């Protein structure tokens, strides 16, 4: 698995905060892997889905063989085959014919239990989702599959009854509530540790809006502002400067 990242920001001293969503993900993923089932984690951008899943799956290693696949464009079933070939570190050249390719993948997936993390799953169309179902349905394979993606992932899956009916657990990630912000953000990074709760609420209302990625970006700019001004703690003037750097 990849190392933990904090919403695409290199943020020294940041900590993983055990939110209610992360606790639920840990339980849901553990149950899905134990059942060799499929689940879908979906929600808006920046809500912490991928980070939570990486943290939870890392906790299952090294006993669980976890392979990650990420899609950046709408793949065909052929493209999914090639991604699986690469993710499984299979030797030789990929087969040219679909039936031969399918036999190779099924044989590899029958060797031992594996978990696939399929990230950015909102890019998958019905054909690609159906191919994952086809492999998972094979009696000899020992697959657990975690689909992680935006709301589009949930929408496409729900349109595919054959696959949707096989999803073991659905989990929806949402924004942090105002009370969750006050609980989680002081634990997230030292710049917020001694901040006035009113200033944290001010920052959430004007810039972060319960979005963990936005909070990470804001923490990075606030950290810079504290270093440049020499101020000992966050205040609203400093926060306004940080806001000016955000879209």
The domain boundary residue, chosen from 173, 188, 218: 173
Q: Do 167 and 185 share a domain, yes or no?
A: no
The enclosing domain of 136 has a CATH number of 3.40.50.300
Q: Please indicate, yes or no, if residue 12 is contained in any of the structural domains.
A: no
Asked if 17 and 190 touch (Cβ cutoff 8 Å), the reply is no
Q: Do 238 and 126 share a domain, yes or no?
A: no
Alpha helices in 165-196 (DSSP H): 178-188, 190-193
The domain boundary residue, chosen from 173, 208, 223: 173
Q: Please indicate, yes or no, if residue 7 is contained in any of the structural domains.
A: no
In the predicted structure, residue 219 carries a pLDDT above the cut 80: yes
- The whole-angstrom separation of Cα 115 and Cα 100 is 23
Distances (CA, A) of 10 to 13, 70, 122: 10, 20, 25
Q: Do 155 and 76 share a domain, yes or no?
A: yes
* pLDDT tens-digit readout, 173-218: 999 999 999 999 999 999 999 999 999 999 999 999 999 999 999 9
Domain housing 204: 178-244
Q: Please indicate, yes or no, if residue 83 is contained in any of the structural domains.
A: yes
Global pTM value: 0.89
Tell me the pLDDT band of 139, cut-offs 50, 70 and 90. very high
* pLDDT tens-digit readout, 60-83: 888 899 999 988 888 889 999 999
* pLDDT tens-digit readout, 68-127: 998 888 888 999 999 999 999 999 999 999 999 999 999 999 999 999 999 999 898 888
Q: Please indicate, yes or no, if residue 188 is contained in any of the structural domains.
A: yes
Q: Do 111 and 32 share a domain, yes or no?
A: yes
Q: Do 186 and 227 share a domain, yes or no?
A: yes
């Amino acid at each position: 698995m990849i190392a933990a990242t904090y919403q695409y920001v290199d943020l020294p001293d940041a900590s993983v905060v055990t939110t209610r969503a992360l606790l639920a993900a840990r339980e849901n993923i553990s149950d899905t892997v134990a059942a060799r089932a499929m689940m879908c984690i979906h929600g808006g951008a920046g809500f912490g889905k991928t980070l939570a899943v990486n943290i939870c799956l890392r906790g299952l290693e090294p006993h669980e063989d976890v392979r990650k696949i990420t899609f950046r464009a709408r793949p065909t079933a052929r493209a999914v085959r090639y991604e699986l070939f690469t993710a499984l570190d299979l030797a030789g050249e990929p087969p040219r014919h679909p039936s031969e390719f399918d036999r190779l993948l099924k044989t590899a997936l029958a060797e031992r239990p594996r978990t696939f993390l399929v990230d950015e799953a909102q890019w998958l169309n019905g054909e690609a989702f159906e191919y994952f179902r086809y492999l998972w349905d094979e009696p000899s394979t020992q697959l657990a599959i975690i689909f992680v993606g935006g709301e589009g992932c949930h929408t496409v899956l729900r349109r595919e009854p054959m696959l949707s009916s096989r999803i073991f657990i659905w989990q929806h990630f949402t924004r942090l509530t105002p009370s969750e912000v006050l609980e989680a953000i002081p634990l997230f990074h030292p710049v917020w540790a001694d901040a006035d709760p009113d200033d944290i609420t001010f920052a959430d209302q004007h810039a972060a809006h319960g979005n963990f990625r936005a909070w990470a970006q804001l923490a990075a700019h606030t950290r810079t502002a504290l270093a440049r001004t020499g101020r000992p703690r966050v205040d609203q003037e400093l926060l306004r400067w940080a806001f000016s750097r955000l879209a």
